[in-house]
Structure 1
Amino acid sequence: MEKLDLAKTYKSYYTAPAKPQLVEFEPNWYVTIQGQGDPDGIAFSNATEALYTLSYSIKGIYKKEEKDFTVAKLEGLWWVDGDRKALDVPREEWHWKLLIRMPDYVRAESIEDARSIAMSKKKELTVISDINYETLHEGACVQMLHVGPYAAEPESLKQIEHFLTEHRRKIRGLHHEIYLSDPRKVEPSKMKTILRYPVQSVEVVTG
């Protein structure tokens, strides 16, 4: 039985250069969970564990159907209330939605079967019941690979801002991160994170 690895099958989705680039993405299916608070806090930790627990339960169901797959990388959408910049807002006020992409063949009804399995294994993880199965269609995006600690992301974001100005684009969606490295195993200076934003063209008004 051949195991599907989304990172290898969809390389353009899970790779990015060290400099900003424009890319286009089709709709994809994800298991997701939304919350608010410090990413070092217990709510974020529980949400992450719940998402992985459900993902591995889904994997188990499809492995029995001879459709095994590698559980994909964790992703996150981030935002804050109002027009403030995230770094000007206390981390406790940050909003996030965590995602793990699923193969196209995963059926909605199997999510509920997997949820029952996951909740029986991790009864204390009640937030498993809060996980959704939904599509995300970002379309045209700008992205780049950030290498280093999360705290140093503003340096990469400045490159993205400059790139958008040069190419007459503006952000039209949420800050999107794909975590290629496990922070428990990789030292901060070597961590790799894809930074991505949906974008649109800026209309040029001529007189």
Structure 2
Amino acid sequence: MNGQKLDLAKQDKLYYTAALEPRLVNFPELNYLALEGRGDPNGEAFRESTEALYTVAYGVKGLCKSEQADFTVAKLEGLWWVDSGAQDPLKVPREEWRWRILIRMPDFVTADKVVIAKLAAGKKKPALNGLIQAIAFLPIHEGECVQIMHIGPYSDEPATLERLHGYMTRQGLTGNGPHHEIYLSDPRKSAPASRKTILRMPVRKL
């Protein structure tokens, strides 16, 4: 990379931006650090899982930087679903929500580097070692998706999702994978009213 620092958010603007109205987009197979769990996103399990994921991500970054292939650690993402497809997910208790949190990795990151980073992260944070070792280096191919930008508190997402699903219905599309969110704003540093979240749904023709 000739010493230049890669920032995926600047390199891949299609992936990290969305319009205020639903749009159809398409994504190739991409690589992620991924950790699966269950429960309230405001709970301790989600917090610890996020910490474990970032610890490994920064470990991978450090290894790459030592080889003159530095990169900015990407935004946190989440895939969300519930076990019962017959129910409205928003009516399922948050304690039963399933999630897979993600951090996208550049193309030059290899599985070997992730293994080394996990071993180092486990020694650095032994209390999180179980979660750290459960982190997978995972290719995901969502293909065709509908996405929209949500601005505001996470609790207001249902209204934005209603517009997204309305667009899907009008276009003759149905879901083809779990609901996907990309958290462009750090909730620790941003007011709820100004938070930006990309809401994305893989789709296929009915």
Same-fold call, TM > 0.5? yes
- Describe the superposition over 1:22-48 as per-residue Cα deviations: whole angstroms up to 9, x where unpaired: 000000000000000010111000000
- Further displaced range: 48-57 or 156-165: 156-165
Q: Which residue of 1 aligns with 2:178?
A: 174
Q: Which residue of 2 aligns with 1:205?
A: none
TM-score normalised per structure 1: 0.96
The number of residue pairs the alignment matches comes to 202
Q: CA RMSD in A?
A: 0.7
- Describe the superposition over 1:108-150 as per-residue Cα deviations: whole angstroms up to 9, x where unpaired: 1111111111111111112101100010100000000000011
CA distance in 1, matches of 2:58, 2:165: 37
Q: Which residue of 2 aligns with 1:56?
A: 58
1:4 matches 2:20: no
Greater than 4 Å deviation, 4+ residue runs: none
Letter in 1 for 2:163: Q
Matches within 5 A, 1:18-97: 18-82=20-84, 83-97=86-100
1:100 matches 2:103: yes
1:160 matches 2:159: no
Unaligned stretches of 5+ in structure 1?
203-207
- Further displaced range: 167-176 or 3-12: 167-176
Aligned partner (choices 147, 150, 162) of residue 151 of structure 2: 147
Unaligned stretches of 5+ in structure 2?
none
CA distance in 1, matches of 2:103, 2:146: 20
Q: Which residue of 1 aligns with 2:204?
A: 200
Letter in 1 for 2:168: L
CA distance in 2, matches of 1:109, 1:158: 42
CA distance in 2, matches of 1:112, 1:141: 31
* 1:201 shift after superposition: 1.1
- Describe the superposition over 1:54-100 as per-residue Cα deviations: whole angstroms up to 9, x where unpaired: 00000000000000000000000000011212210110000000000
SS in 2 for 1:125: helix
